[in-house]
């Protein structure tokens, strides 16, 4: 086997949403995952990414099923580990576009170690954190982002701890790109995907995602008074549908202190919190090491051991 | 003192960690090899980095087995121990690997540091019937060593050993210059040579027992290499382009070698954040069509099991190296054991379908990666390479193996497959999903998952589809089973007793069989290279022996069958009993195999 790079047909017909369909997703009706999937398909079409050069990689949970519903290449891996699998492709196949799909349990609990190192390695990918604040596919257990007091099957008297904040975690780990959006504001989600895709490095995208089955109260999708958009010429535009109705704050995404302030606030902010295009990329470092190492002749492999 | 002629002999140089015993040994063994002698070497490595000097944990040294014939194991007992002080000597005596006439040369320089300890060790040697000869480094040399802050004692001992093994003064001097010349400045080099010569002269004045192993210098294309280095270079020759690992003893040295070397051959080494990440990254790269391997030892092997199962289900090739050490749990990281066998074969939850390859010697280490890659890609299954601490760290001089520069697995040469008793597999082997394209292939888009799927890759819980997936995966293993030839047999195909082993015990079994045959005993031996699946004709082969026994470095007793015996019994329904099933952390000795065989034959 050798990677068949750049074998894109001469005049490929344009990619359409229809080309990206596989089977009908098996999520619950009204699940926020449908919206994320639809936006990603629209994004691939908008950018005309060749489906054969896209790889969707996921862990376990409702979000883990996403790659199965996109007619690209895909790896539905094991619980908490999609970042490790994606890294293997990033280190060896820089020609591919990588999208990682990981839930709040997958990325903040069982896969926490990998999130920490994925962010630090800053390898090129779009990391989509589907945050529905619950373990859903395993049937209603407390996750690291479940709000305190919310009753679940494993913490039936109300979840004991204050939730982890994915945004301050990502910022604290030195993430080169931190954005937050929500599944029910598709225009903003699309703009966020676009900014994340164009960022060279590990683009951490937090997505508030509805779970209609186990927790219909955590996100009020009917009103917009409880959140604000962060805006900036170098940031992500506020959602077109809500721009007039919602608070829009100016925030320079290179200002880390303000990014922390908004991320840690009680109020929700959607937009680009932080970006640093200069953070070194581990995938580049290893590729440059290979490219820059003087070639040795495999035929003379054992010569240095000769006595 | 006259020189005793020996066909084979073994000696040890024991010092505190960091004092250079292994360096001195390496120089001496190169001189032996230059004179045509055969060697097998085991470094003794402490589990800690810099344990305090004169403690039992500080034991560091080198065991050199020297022969006039080719040897494949570290042998039986030691004929001579040169120890820098009594504490490390006392620690090593605990292992009881000295023979009755073992000569002990003890440097008395530390006598006054702890007279009670010193006397106790001397007394103990007397009780064991060992001949202890104490010596003092001559005053001039002592002063030189003191001036060099204690360095250089190893070169003095090297001089003593060179005289004792009747080596020409200049032959060894040449090897010292070859080994240290590039690293030391000329003045320091001169001092080291002086210490070497002083040691040589001092030994001349004493009546130490001396040994001579006769061999004629031979011209052949030879290399000096240890098991882990051979594996690392085999990984490069087999065409792997990613090694992904996490630091763990005794597998780490593979990652060290490849971190330096792989980039020169178009590959890269990735140090992952943990053992699970290491295999995940290798699996991701292999999905992208890039041959990838992950390596580890016991504890890390446990952590990788979920991903090994995933690779089976998703049909992504992967090669996993397990350099075994003492277990369970953290166990003994710097001692040898073969207790991971069943975890390798049956590990991961659910039905396990994988191939397990073992390495019996250093040349196997070089070619195992080729076979592993061939099988992994051909079958799209995980392939496990099982080594162990002993094989990983022991080194010897071997005829240079042929480098094959494998790229396309279909070009793997027959001689490599034959080494592992494998016939070339069928051109097409059925997979659960016929489509096995790699990313970048237009119109080949596909998804893999750990969930059960139908042939099109759609997630499925259908009874028929589940059963089919299992059947297809198990048929892959069956393909290998059908393609396995008879394993290596030492001695006649029909005999009174057959001693079966795998991996690092093979060398001791081969030697024990050879000794037994010289004594007219009806003993044959067998070594398994591919250990799972087992060859189909095994039961038939066993039927030609009155008794079949296993030898393994794994715990067994009257109530507990060790792993290899369990596996062979389950496969053949033959009443196989363990002949030796010990987990001492030390290699099995040919003479123990022979003694036990004699008991059984009585």
Q: Using the beta-carbon criterion (under 8 Å), do B280 and A306 form an inter-chain contact?
A: no
Q: Is B438 on the interface with A (CB under 8 A)?
A: yes
Nearest to A51 among B233, B236, B445 (CB): B445
Q: Using the beta-carbon criterion (under 8 Å), do B265 and A296 form an inter-chain contact?
A: yes
Distance CA A2, CA B285 (A): 11
pLDDT level of residue A10 (50, 70, 90 thresholds): low
Letter string b/e over residues B443-455, b meaning 16 or more CB atoms within 10 A of that residue's CB: eebbbbbbbbbbb
Token pair listed for A133? 């604040």
| Nearest chain A alpha carbon to B29 | A307
B156 neighbors B196 (Cβ within 8 angstroms): yes
Q: Which of A77, A282, A260, A29 is nearest to B283 (CA)?
A: A77
| pLDDT given at position B131 | 87
| pLDDT given at position B189 | 94
pLDDT > 70: percent of chain A: 96
Q: Using the beta-carbon criterion (under 8 Å), do B222 and A78 form an inter-chain contact?
A: no
Task: Choose from A88, A122, A286, A293 for mutation: most chain B CBs within 10 A.
Answer: A88
Helix B506-518 × helix B590-601 angle, to 10°: 50
Q: Is B277 on the interface with A (CB under 8 A)?
A: yes
B224-419 and B488-601 agree in CATH topology:
yes
The least confident of A1-10, B54-63, B214-223, B303-312 is A1-10
Chain B residues with CB under 8 Å of A301 CB are 233, 236-237, 403
Cross-strand bridge partners of residue B466: none
pLDDT digits (tens, 9 = 90+) for B240-269: 999 999 999 999 999 999 999 999 999 999
B179-191 mean pLDDT: 90
Secondary structure class of A53 (helix, strand, coil)? helix
Q: Give the strand pairing for A177-182 and A268-275.
A: antiparallel
Distance CA B322, CA B344 (A): 9
Q: Which of B295, B274, B294 is nearest to B282 (CA)?
A: B294
Nearest to A67 among B223, B310, B447 (CB): B447
Task: Choose from A12, A25, A27, A75 for mutation: most chain B CBs within 10 A.
Answer: A75
Distance CA B414, CA B529 (A): 16
DSSP 8-state secondary structure symbol assigned to residue B15: E
Query: How far does CA A267 lie from the centroid of its chain?
Result: 22
B250 neighbors B300 (Cβ within 8 angstroms): no
Q: What's the CATH superfamily of B224-419? A: Thiamin diphosphate (ThDP)-binding fold, Pyr/PP domains (3.40.50.970)
Q: Give the strand pairing for B355-358 and B382-388.
A: parallel
- ipTM, two decimals: 0.96
User: Residue A4 pLDDT > 50, yes or no?
Assistant: no
| pLDDT given at position A8 | 53
Helix A82-92 × helix A282-292 angle, to 10°: 30
Phi, psi dihedral angles at B358 (to 5 degrees): -115, 160
User: Residue B86 pLDDT > 90, yes or no?
Assistant: yes
pLDDT level of residue A307 (50, 70, 90 thresholds): confident
Q: Using the beta-carbon criterion (under 8 Å), do B449 and A76 form an inter-chain contact?
A: yes
Mean pLDDT of chain B: 96
The CA angle A8-A11-A13, to the nearest 5 degrees, is 95
pLDDT digits (tens, 9 = 90+) for B527-549: 999 999 999 999 999 999 999 99
| Nearest chain A alpha carbon to B311 | A77
Indicate left, alpha or beta for B447 from its phi (over 0: left) and psi (-120 to 50: alpha).
beta
B213 neighbors B67 (Cβ within 8 angstroms): yes
| pLDDT given at position A2 | 43
Q: Using the beta-carbon criterion (under 8 Å), do B290 and A3 form an inter-chain contact?
A: yes
Q: Is B402 on the interface with A (CB under 8 A)?
A: no
Per-domain residue ranges for chain A?
17-289
Q: Which of B308, B320, B296 is nearest to B384 (CA)?
A: B320
Query: How far does CA B144 lie from the centroid of its chain?
Result: 38
B398-423 mean pLDDT: 97
Phi, psi dihedral angles at B349 (to 5 degrees): -75, 160
Q: Using the beta-carbon criterion (under 8 Å), do B242 and A299 form an inter-chain contact?
A: no
Chain A residues with CB under 8 Å of B244 CB are 88
CA distance to A13, B6, B265, B442, B450, per residue, from A10 (Å): 10, 75, 32, 11, 35
Q: Using the beta-carbon criterion (under 8 Å), do B290 and A67 form an inter-chain contact?
A: no
Distance CA B599, CA B602 (A): 5
Phi, psi dihedral angles at B53 (to 5 degrees): -65, 155
Length of chain A: 307
Terminal CA-to-CA distance of chain A, rounded, Å?
36
Looking at the domain A17-289, which fold is it? Rossmann fold (3.40.50)
| Nearest chain B alpha carbon to A21 | B445
Token pair listed for A296? 């040795």
A54-83 mean pLDDT: 97
DSSP-derived secondary structure for B583-598 = -SSSPPPHHHHHHHHH
Distance CA A104, CA A117 (A): 17
Chain A residues with CB under 8 Å of B439 CB are 52-53, 55, 73, 89, 93, 96
Q: Is B501 on the interface with A (CB under 8 A)?
A: no
DSSP 8-state secondary structure symbol assigned to residue B334: T
| pLDDT given at position B226 | 96
Helix B139-147 × helix B186-205 angle, to 10°: 150
Q: Using the beta-carbon criterion (under 8 Å), do A53 and B285 form an inter-chain contact?
A: no
Find residues 42-101 of chain B whose CB sits inside 8 Å of chain A: none
Find residues 468-497 of chain B whose CB sits inside 8 Å of chain A: none
Say how many C-beta atoms besides its own lie within 10 A of residue B409's C-beta: 19
Secondary structure class of B8 (helix, strand, coil)? strand
Chain B residues with CB under 8 Å of A307 CB are 30, 33-34, 222-224, 397
Chain A residues with CB under 8 Å of B458 CB are 23, 68
Which of residues B333 and A8 earns the better pLDDT score? Answer: B333
B346-365 mean pLDDT: 97
Q: Using the beta-carbon criterion (under 8 Å), do B440 and A5 form an inter-chain contact?
A: yes
Helix (H) or strand (E) holding B156: helix B153-164
Distance CA B370, CA B386 (A): 14
pLDDT level of residue B105 (50, 70, 90 thresholds): very high
Q: Which of B342, B305, B311, B368 is nearest to B532 (CA)?
A: B342
Residue keyed to tokens 């949970």:
A61
Q: Is B221 on the interface with A (CB under 8 A)?
A: yes
pLDDT > 90: percent of chain B: 95
User: Residue B184 pLDDT > 90, yes or no?
Assistant: no
Q: Which of B22, B61, B11 is nearest to B163 (CA)?
A: B11
Work out the minimum CA distance from B281 to partner chain A, whole angstroms: 4
Q: Using the beta-carbon criterion (under 8 Å), do B449 and A68 form an inter-chain contact?
A: yes
CB pairs < 8 Å spanning A and B: 206
Say how many C-beta atoms besides its own lie within 10 A of residue B472's C-beta: 17
Q: Using the beta-carbon criterion (under 8 Å), do B289 and A3 form an inter-chain contact?
A: yes
Across the beta sheet with A268-275, what order do the strands follow? A247-250, A227-231, A268-275, A177-182, A202-208, A125-131, A97-103, A54-58, A73-76, B447-449
pLDDT digits (tens, 9 = 90+) for B473-484: 999 999 999 999
Q: Using the beta-carbon criterion (under 8 Å), do B273 and A302 form an inter-chain contact?
A: no
Work out the minimum CA distance from A101 to partner chain B, whole angstroms: 14
Query: How far does CA B349 lie from the centroid of its chain?
Result: 29
Q: Give the strand pairing for A54-58 and A97-103.
A: parallel
User: Residue B235 pLDDT > 70, yes or no?
Assistant: yes
| Nearest chain A alpha carbon to B452 | A76
Token pair listed for B337? 């054991």
Q: Using the beta-carbon criterion (under 8 Å), do A88 and B444 form an inter-chain contact?
A: no
Distance CA B544, CA B495 (A): 7
Helix B153-164 × helix B139-147 angle, to 10°: 140
A239-244 mean pLDDT: 93
Chain A residues with CB under 8 Å of B292 CB are 88, 92
Nearest to B222 among A87, A88, A307 (CB): A307
Task: Please name the CATH architecture into which domain B488-601 falls.
Answer: 3-Layer(aba) Sandwich (3.40)
| pLDDT given at position B84 | 97
Q: Using the beta-carbon criterion (under 8 Å), do B241 and A2 form an inter-chain contact?
A: no
Nearest to A68 among B33, B266, B447 (CB): B447
Q: Which option is the CATH number for B3-212: 3.30.70.1140, 3.30.70.1290, 3.40.920.10, 1.10.238.10?
A: 3.40.920.10
Query: How far does CA B20 lie from the centroid of its chain?
Result: 22
Q: Using the beta-carbon criterion (under 8 Å), do A302 and B282 form an inter-chain contact?
A: no
Nearest to A76 among B264, B288, B450 (CB): B450
Phi, psi dihedral angles at A247 (to 5 degrees): -70, 135
pLDDT level of residue A6 (50, 70, 90 thresholds): very low
pLDDT digits (tens, 9 = 90+) for A107-136: 999 999 999 999 999 999 999 999 999 999
Work out the minimum CA distance from A3 to partner chain B, whole angstroms: 5
Q: What is the largest CA-CA distance in chain A?
A: 80
Task: Choose from A41, A55, A92 for mutation: most chain B CBs within 10 A.
Answer: A92
Residue keyed to tokens 């991971």:
B340
Distance CA B346, CA B148 (A): 55
Say how many C-beta atoms besides its own lie within 10 A of residue B369's C-beta: 28
Nearest to A289 among B263, B285, B442 (CB): B263
Per-domain residue ranges for chain B?
3-212, 224-419, 488-601
Q: Using the beta-carbon criterion (under 8 Å), do A302 and B444 form an inter-chain contact?
A: no
| pLDDT given at position B49 | 87
B422 neighbors B535 (Cβ within 8 angstroms): no
Q: What is the CA radius of gyration of chain A?
A: 20
- For the CA atoms of B184, B189, B195, B197, the dihedral, rounded to the nearest 10 degrees, stands at 130
A212-238 mean pLDDT: 94
Chain A residues with CB under 8 Å of B459 CB are 26, 65, 68
Chain A residues with CB under 8 Å of B310 CB are 77-78
pLDDT level of residue A5 (50, 70, 90 thresholds): very low
CA distance to B54, B239, B280, B534, per residue, from B118 (Å): 11, 55, 53, 53
């Amino acid at each position: 086997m050798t990677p068949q790079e750049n074998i894109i047909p001469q005049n490929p017909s344009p990619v359409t949403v229809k080309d990206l369909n596989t089977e009908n997703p098996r999520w619950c009706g009204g699940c926020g995952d449908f919206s994320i999937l639809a936006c990603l398909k629209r994004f691939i079409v908008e950018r005309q990414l060749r489906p054969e050069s896209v790889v969707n990689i996921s862990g376990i949970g409702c979000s883990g099923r996403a790659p199965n519903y996109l007619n690209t290449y895909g790896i539905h891996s094991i619980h908490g580990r999609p970042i490790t699998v994606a890294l293997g492709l990033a280190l060896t196949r820089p020609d591919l576009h990588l999208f990682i799909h990981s839930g709040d349990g997958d990325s903040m609990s069982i896969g926490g170690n990998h999130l920490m190192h994925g962010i630090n390695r800053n390898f090129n990918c779009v990391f989509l954190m589907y945050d529905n604040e619950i373990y859903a596919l395993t049937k209603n257990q407390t996750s690291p982002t479940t709000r305190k007091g919310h009753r679940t099957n494993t913490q039936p008297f109300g979840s004991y701890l204050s939730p982890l904040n994915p945004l301050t975690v990502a910022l604290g780990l030195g993430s080169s790109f931190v954005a937050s959006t929500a599944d029910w504001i598709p225009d903003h989600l699309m703009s966020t995907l676009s900014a994340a895709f164009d960022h060279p490095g590990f683009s951490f995208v937090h997505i508030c995602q509805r779970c209609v089955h186990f927790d219909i109260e955590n996100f009020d999708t009917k009103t917009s008074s409880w959140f604000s958009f962060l805006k900036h010429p170098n940031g992500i535009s506020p959602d077109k549908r809500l721009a007039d109705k919602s608070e829009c704050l100016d925030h320079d995404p290179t200002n880390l202190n303000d990014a922390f302030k908004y991320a840690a606030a009680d109020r929700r902010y959607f937009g680009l919190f932080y970006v640093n295009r200069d953070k070194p990329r581990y995938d580049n470092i290893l590729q440059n090491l290979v490219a820059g190492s003087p070639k040795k002749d495999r035929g003379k492999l054992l010569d240095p051991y000769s006595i | 003192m006259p020189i005793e002629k020996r066909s084979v002999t073994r000696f040890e140089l024991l010092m505190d960690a960091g004092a250079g015993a292994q360096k001195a040994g390496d120089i001496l063994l190169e001189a032996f090899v230059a004179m045509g002698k055969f060697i097998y070497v085991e470094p003794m490595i402490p589990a800690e980095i810099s344990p305090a000097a004169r403690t039992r944990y500080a034991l560091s040294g080198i065991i050199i087995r020297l022969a006039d014939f080719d040897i494949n194991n570290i042998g039986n007992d030691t004929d001579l121990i040169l120890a820098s002080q009594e504490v490390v000597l006392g620690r090593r005596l605990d292992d009881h690997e000295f023979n009755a006439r073992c000569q002990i040369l003890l440097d008395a320089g530390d006598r006054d540091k702890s007279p009670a300890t010193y006397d106790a060790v001397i007394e103990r040697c007397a009780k064991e019937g060992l001949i202890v000869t104490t010596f003092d480094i001559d005053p001039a040399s002592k002063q030189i060593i003191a001036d060099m802050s204690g360095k250089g004692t190893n070169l003095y001992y090297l001089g003593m050993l060179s005289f004792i093994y009747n080596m020409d003064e200049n032959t060894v001097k040449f090897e010292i210059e070859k080994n240290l010349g590039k690293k030391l400045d000329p003045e320091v080099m001169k001092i080291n040579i002086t210490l070497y010569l002083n040691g040589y002269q001092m030994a001349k004045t004493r009546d130490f027992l001396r040994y001579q192993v006769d061999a004629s210098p031979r011209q052949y294309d030879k290399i000096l290499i240890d098991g882990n280095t051979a594996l690392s270079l085999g990984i490069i020759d087999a065409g792997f382009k990613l090694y992904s690992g996490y630091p763990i003893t005794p597998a780490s040295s593979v990652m060290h070698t490849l971190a330096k070397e792989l980039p020169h051959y178009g590959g890269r080494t990735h140090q992952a954040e943990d053992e699970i990440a290491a295999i995940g990254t290798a699996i991701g790269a292999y999905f992208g069509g890039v041959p990838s391997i992950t390596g580890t030892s016991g504890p890390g092997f446990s952590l990788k099991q979920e991903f090994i199962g995933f690779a089976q289900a998703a049909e992504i090739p992967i090669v996993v190296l397990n350099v075994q050490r003492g277990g369970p749990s953290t166990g003994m990281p710097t001692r040898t054991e073969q207790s991971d066998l069943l975890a390798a074969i049956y590990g991961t939850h659910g039905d396990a379908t994988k191939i397990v390859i073992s390495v019996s010697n250093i040349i196997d280490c070089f070619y195992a990666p080729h076979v592993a890659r061939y099988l992994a890609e051909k079958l799209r299954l995980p392939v496990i390479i099982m080594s162990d601490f002993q094989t990983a760290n022991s080194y010897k001089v071997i005829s240079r193996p042929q480098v094959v520069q494998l790229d396309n697995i279909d070009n793997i040469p027959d001689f490599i497959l034959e080494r592992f008793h494998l016939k070339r597999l069928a051109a097409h082997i059925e997979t659960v999903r016929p489509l096995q394209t790699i990313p970048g292939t237009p119109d080949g888009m596909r998804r893999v998952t750990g969930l059960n799927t139908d042939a099109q890759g759609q997630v499925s819980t259908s009874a028929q589809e589940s059963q089919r997936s299992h059947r297809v995966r198990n048929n892959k293993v069956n393909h290998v089973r059908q393609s396995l030839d008879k394993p290596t047999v030492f001695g006649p195909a029909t005999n009174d007793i057959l001693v079966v082993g795998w991996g690092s015990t093979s060398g001791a079994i081969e030697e024990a069989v050879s000794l037994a045959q010289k004594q007219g005993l009806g003993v044959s031996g067998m070594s398994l290279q591919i250990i799972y699946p087992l060859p189909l004709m095994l039961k038939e082969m066993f039927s030609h022996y009155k008794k079949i026994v296993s030898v393994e470095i794994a715990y067994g007793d009257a109530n507990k069958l060790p792993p290899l015996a369990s596996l062979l019994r389950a496969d053949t329904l033959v009443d196989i009993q363990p002949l030796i099933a010990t987990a001492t952390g030390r290699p099995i000795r040919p003479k123990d195999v022979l003694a036990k065989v004699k008991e059984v034959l009585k």
